[in-house]
Amino acid sequence: MSRTRRLRLGAFMRPVAIHTGAWRFPGADPNANFSFARLKGFARRLEAAKFDAFFMADHLAVLNMPMDALKRSHTVTSFEPFTLLSALAAVTERIGLVATASTTFDAPFHVARRFASLDHISGGRAGWNIVTTANPDAALNFGQDGQMDHAARYVRAREFFDVVTGLWDSFADDAFPRDVDSGIFFDPAKMHVLDHRGPSLQVRGPLNIARPVQGWPVVVQAGSSEPGRQLAAETAEVVFSAEGSLDAAKRFYADVKGRMRALGRDPEHCKILPAAFVVVGDTVEEARAKRARLDALVHYDSGIGSLNGMLGTDVSGYDPDGPLPDIPDTEASKSGRARMVAMARDEGLTIRQLAARAGSYAGLAFVGTPATVADGMEEWLDAEGCDGFNVMFSDLPQGLDDVVDRVVPELQRRGLFRLDYEGPTLRDNLGLPRPANRFFP
Amino acid sequence: MSRTRRLRLGAFMRPVAIHTGAWRFPGADPNANFSFARLKGFARRLEAAKFDAFFMADHLAVLNMPMDALKRSHTVTSFEPFTLLSALAAVTERIGLVATASTTFDAPFHVARRFASLDHISGGRAGWNIVTTANPDAALNFGQDGQMDHAARYVRAREFFDVVTGLWDSFADDAFPRDVDSGIFFDPAKMHVLDHRGPSLQVRGPLNIARPVQGWPVVVQAGSSEPGRQLAAETAEVVFSAEGSLDAAKRFYADVKGRMRALGRDPEHCKILPAAFVVVGDTVEEARAKRARLDALVHYDSGIGSLNGMLGTDVSGYDPDGPLPDIPDTEASKSGRARMVAMARDEGLTIRQLAARAGSYAGLAFVGTPATVADGMEEWLDAEGCDGFNVMFSDLPQGLDDVVDRVVPELQRRGLFRLDYEGPTLRDNLGLPRPANRFFP
């Protein structure tokens, strides 16, 4: 079976399981999220299954939830993404390595340099997930009294992107002759001093590392707000979206690709990968029962904490069995709030029901047999709801094994997923062009 | 032969060869400094030889030297230390991994988190080389018009150290029961919120990662100025010093250990390791001839650039064959300037002679046979000029092979160096105690 469009699959791995009850699931390793040996094994399994990328979300503070919920979360101790992905680069060969780095709480020189280093060490497998950092507690860890407002964060993010990509272009690809006879290590005419002086950032350059193997590491974006979509259309090569329904996903897909066309970008040059929580069973009923067992492991205190986090507002003072009150607009992530408000409205859920959903993952889920999971993924791909998925595993290692050993072969049988990597770099596998150097075209 | 004091050996690996001519040496790999495959091989060789640590110096800009010198330097493209050491952590088992991080141009939350991550991933092998960053060009890459003055940098460095170590102590060692039955992942009573509000830094905490395997990664310091020595006496567990003569080294050693005693610290709890450039030959004459061949590969333009960098002043406008003029006090590294000024005075060197020295490494060098190199190291150890050395290799791979295959066995034969690692952590091997948690003693 020949298909022109195939799925791209990322693995959402920080935390290794998004589901709050996953670490307690029978057979799961309670420490899977913080065991390098486990994570190395997972990365190698995912690579053997030809996954496009191992993706690390990030937080610059412990999650902002009440202690009664936080104490039940396996996210409290997690590896810093860069450290982990650099280590994994040394023990993998082909899988992409996507790290989150914040444009609000880091410096563009550091970010450009680390991603360039990871790209060189991994032979061209690095990706940068650009985030503006929604957790308001992060500001308090970086000497700020409160969080920069949402719009200002996105203005800075865009300038930050320009600086980082400009620093990556500090050297022409052939800037380093390393001529032993003449003693000339690099050609100064092939070095560009950026000398950026913008409203938020002043960075001289050049970077002290050669241009990345991929030209630029793959640029990833996840925000779904209005400025988030625009930033994605302008800059992103992968979008990790979070649409819960196919209709919403089709609208998001058409919107981002349309914005790209309007900007003169080829819509094929950005792959939209919704997050998808996958639970596999021998029958659909067995898979649903597994999800119910997982959900039953989520304590109410965890659910209400997750709900508060997504809403950006503490609703624990309201009647749990009553409706969701009007939620004020805050500087927290707009997309999470919008999704929960819509879910409460559309399904008529109480705060208690919403809390259980929030605590056990409220987004897109494929719960079924390998065939029905593949059916769902195929439907989304064919309907132009996505270019693939960022898979969230239900429990580790079993939930990952189920996807790798059962779902992936079914996708491959249908011609929906690669049998082998297309090339050595993440760009090769995602079908993305290598950016020209803006200073040495 | 039984000895109570043995050498500790670090390997200075960024750049892989300090000598400006090393990348051009016959048989050397011109790209050794920027080849992950090479660096992985070097780390494994050093580990097989039982070296204590692989040490990465760092610069947050290309070296501040004239372009005519810079274009001849193999340092222009180098890996960011954290990325490289994290990758090496995955392919080594025992060798310590010491990364430089700047207290002037980074955030304590980031620094604490990355070193904690590296310590967990490596099983307790991380070390933090605290630097205040002397290169004035670095400020321009981080949104600052000019460099903070030397004294202010050290005041901030001390506060930065307090914050980082406080963040490492965010959780008691037994804070994570991961109790599947009760659903309690961690015990909130064993989490401390630092809430630091100091003159330079405000950081709330807690860190979002468990306390490091070593309690704290090993704290390393390299400055030799008055505030540098005091910071070392207060905080350091390893000092990378740069004394060129045994007399100077003995004074430095006695000074730092005396300051430690005055502060109530056990002087055994800080290991002083001078940088030592090692060139090995079958005879002393052959080793000297090798050094002369290396020096002959240093272009005058590189020498004058290195000299200017060390002085913090451009002296290229003066007569190369005349004496060094009076050098003003600048905010650049004080120790480099003092060494060059003393060398000019003591040996009556011209600017041209000084430039050749500066370009080919002006510090302590052991140039001889394995036996005479071991003699020199033994003399320094027995005279209390040091507790070991941070070895700089003359050329790669040969100069490293010479040390590993010829000098180390000679040191082992004399009982001056370990035959096997003492334990799994860098602290075990250096004989350093695991720090108590200040909040959960």
Whole-number pLDDT of residue B210: 98
Of A112-116, A215-219, A257-261, A352-356, which gets the smallest average pLDDT? A352-356
Residue with tokens 């994290």: B86
Mean pLDDT computed over B92-97: 98
The Cα angle at residue A336 between residues A333 and A339, in degrees rounded to 5: 145
| pLDDT tens digits along A77-103 | 999 999 999 999 999 999 999 999 999
Q: Is A157 exposed, middle or buried (0-12, 13-18, 19+ CB in 10 A)?
A: buried
Measure the CA–CA gap between A420 and A186, rounded to whole angstroms.
37
User: How would residue A1 be classed by pLDDT, with cut points 50, 70 and 90?
Assistant: very low
Q: Which of B185, B295, B395 to mutate to test the interface with A (most CBs of A within 10 A)?
A: B185
| Distances in whole angstroms, Cα of residue B155 to Cα of each of B148, B151, B159, B198 | 11, 6, 7, 11
Taking the C-alpha atoms of residue A271 and residue A238, their distance in angstroms, rounded to an integer, is: 5
Angstrom distance (rounded) from CA A359 to CA A302: 6
pLDDT band per the 50, 70, 90 thresholds, residue B1: very low
| pLDDT attached to residue A333 | 63
CA atoms within 13 A on the CB side of B207: 30
Round to whole Å and give the CA distance between B229 and B114. Answer: 26
Per-residue pLDDT, A353: 75
Q: What integer best gives the mean pLDDT of chain B?
A: 93
pLDDT digits (tens, 9 = 90+) for A10-48: 999 999 999 988 999 999 999 999 999 999 999 999 999
Q: Residue A198's beta-bridge partner residues?
A: none
Q: Annotation-wise, does B100 bind a ligand?
A: yes
Task: State the average pLDDT over residues B282-310.
Answer: 87
Q: Which residue from A24, A70, A87 is facing B90, i.e. has the nearest CB? A: A87
| A and B: number of Cβ contacts within 8 A | 193
A108 closest CA partner among A220, A221, A172, A197: A197
Q: Which of A76, A143, A187 sits opposite B203 (nearest CB)?
A: A143
Q: Residue B261: pLDDT above 70?
A: yes
Q: Is the pLDDT of residue B435 over 90?
A: yes
| Cα angle value B400/A179/B137 (rounded, 5°) | 80
Question: pLDDT confidence of B78, banded at 50, 70, 90?
Answer: very high
| Cis geometry, peptide bond prior to residue A206 (ω within 30 degrees of 0) | yes
In chain A, what percentage of residues exceed pLDDT 70? Answer: 98
CB B407: neighbour CB atoms within 10 A? 24
Structure token pair of residue B202? 């405000």
Q: Which residue in A83, A159, A167 has the most chain B C-beta atoms within 10 A of its own C-beta, making it the best mutation to test that interface? A: A83
Is pLDDT above 80 for A417? yes
> What is the assigned CATH class of domain A8-67+81-278+364-430?
alpha beta
For A345, counting Cβ atoms within 10 Å of its Cβ (0-12 exposed, 13-18 middle, 19+ buried), the class is exposed
Closest CA to B374 of B391, B356, B349: B391
What ipTM describes this predicted complex?
Answer: 0.93
Interface check B264 vs A, CB under 8 A: no
Q: Determine the Cα–Cα distance for residues A210 and A207; give it in Å rounded to an integer.
A: 8
The reply to whether omega before A274 is within 30° of 0 (cis) is no
**C-alpha dihedral over A140, A143, A149, A152, to 10 degrees?**
-150
Check: CB of residue B308 under 8 Å from CB of residue B316: yes
Contact between A186 and B80 using a beta-carbon 8 Å cutoff: no
The amino acid at residue A9 is L
Residue of A nearest to B297 (CA): A183
Kindly list the domain boundaries of chain A, sorted by start residue.
Answer: 8-67+81-278+364-430
Residue A36's closest chain B neighbor by CA? B121
- Rounded to the nearest integer, the mean pLDDT of chain A is 93
Select from B59, B53, B62 the least CA-distant residue to B11: B53
State the Cα–Cα distance between residues B293 and B282, nearest whole angstrom. Answer: 16
Residue A231 has which token pair? 């930033």
Strands A218-221 and A238-241: parallel
Q: How confident is the model at residue A108 (pLDDT cuts 50, 70, 90)?
A: very high
Residues B153-165 have a mean pLDDT of 96
Which region, left, alpha or beta, applies to residue A271 given φ > 0 means left and ψ of -120 to 50 means alpha?
beta
Beta bridge partners of A9: A389
Give the span between the Cα atoms of B70 and B62, in whole angstroms: 8
Q: Which chain B residues are Cβ-neighbours of A74 within 8 angstroms?
A: 178, 185
**Confidence check: pLDDT of B107 > 90:** yes
**Predicted confidence band at B333 (pLDDT cuts at 50, 70, 90)?**
low
Does A2 show up as a binding residue in the annotation?
no
Q: Torsion over CA of A430, A433, A438 and A440, rounded to 10 degrees?
A: 120
Fold of B8-284+364-430: TIM Barrel (3.20.20)
Q: Distance, in angstroms, between B222 CA and closest chain A CA?
A: 22
Are residues A82 and B82, on separate chains, in Cβ contact within 8 Å?
yes
CA angle A34, A405, A365 (to 5 degrees): 70
* One-letter identity of residue B358: A
Tell me the Ramachandran region of residue B34: left when phi exceeds 0, alpha when psi lies from -120 to 50, beta otherwise.
alpha
Query: For B184, which of A72, A118, A176 is closest by C-beta distance?
Result: A72
**Residue A284: band (very low, low, confident or very high) from pLDDT cuts 50, 70, 90:** very high
Q: Largest alpha-carbon pair distance within chain B?
A: 80
The nearest CA of chain B is from the CA of A361 a distance in Å of 17
- Beta bridge partner(s), residue A22: none
Is the model's pLDDT at A332 over the cut of 70?
no
| A window 307-366, beta carbon within 8 A of B | none
CB atoms within 10 A of CB A434: 15
Query: In which band, very low, low, confident or very high, does the pLDDT at A236 lie, cut at 50, 70 and 90?
Result: very high
Torsion-angle region of B421 (φ positive above 0: left; ψ -120 to 50: alpha; else: beta): beta
Q: Cα separation of A217 and B156, whole Å?
A: 34
- pLDDT band for A123, please (50, 70, 90 cuts): very high
Tell which residue, A17, A3, A20, has the closest CA to residue A300.
A20
Q: Which residue has the tokens 């649409």?
A: A243
Reduce the DSSP state of residue B36 to 3 states and report it. Answer: helix
Helix residue ranges, H only, B49-182 = 67-70, 81-89, 108-121, 137-140, 150-168
Closest to A432 (Cα-Cα) out of A234, A238, A197 = A238
Report, as an integer, the average pLDDT of B60-79: 90
In order, the DSSP letters of A27-48 are: T--TTGGG-HHHHHHHHHHHHH
DSSP helix/strand/coil, A55: strand
Res B250 pLDDT > 70:
yes
Most B-contacting residue of A39, A185, A298 (CB-CB within 10 A), to test interface = A185
3-state secondary structure of A194: coil
Q: Is the pLDDT of residue B3 over 90?
A: no
Distance from CA of B98 to the nearest CA of A (A): 14
* Residues B97 and B118 sit within 8 Å (Cβ to Cβ): yes
Task: Report the relative pairing of strands B53-56 and A365-368 from DSSP bridges.
Answer: unpaired
Q: Which amino acid is at A228?
A: G
Q: Read off the amino acid at residue A330.
A: T
A358 sits in the region (left: phi over 0; alpha: psi -120 to 50; else beta) called alpha
Q: Which of B25, B77, B93, B187 to mutate to test the interface with A (most CBs of A within 10 A)?
A: B77
* Interface subset of B 116-145, CB within 8 angstroms of A: 116-118, 120-121, 137, 140-143
Strand partners, A117: none
pLDDT at site A196: 98
Rg (CA), chain A: 22
Judging contacts by C-beta atoms under 8 Å, the chain B residues touching residue A116 are 80
* pLDDT average, residue stretch A312-328: 90
The SS3 assignment for B245 reads coil
Give residues with Cβ within 8 angstroms of B363, minimum separation 6: B242, B243, B244, B274, B275, B276, B277, B339
pLDDT tens digits for range B23-53 = 999 999 999 999 999 999 999 999 999 999 9
Structure tokens given for B19: 């000598």
Contact B89 A88 (CB under 8 A): no
Strands A196-197 and A126-131: unpaired
For helices B81-89 and B36-48, angle between their N-to-C axes, nearest 10 degrees: 60
Touching A: B residues 186-205, CB under 8 Å: 186-188, 201-205
* Cα Rg of chain B (Å, integer): 22
CB-CB neighbours of B373 under 10 Å: 27
CB A324, CB A343: distance < 8 Å: no
The yes-or-no verdict on residue B332 having pLDDT over 70 is no
Cα distance from A48 to chain B (closest Cα, Å)? Answer: 19
Has A58 been labeled as part of a binding site? Answer: yes
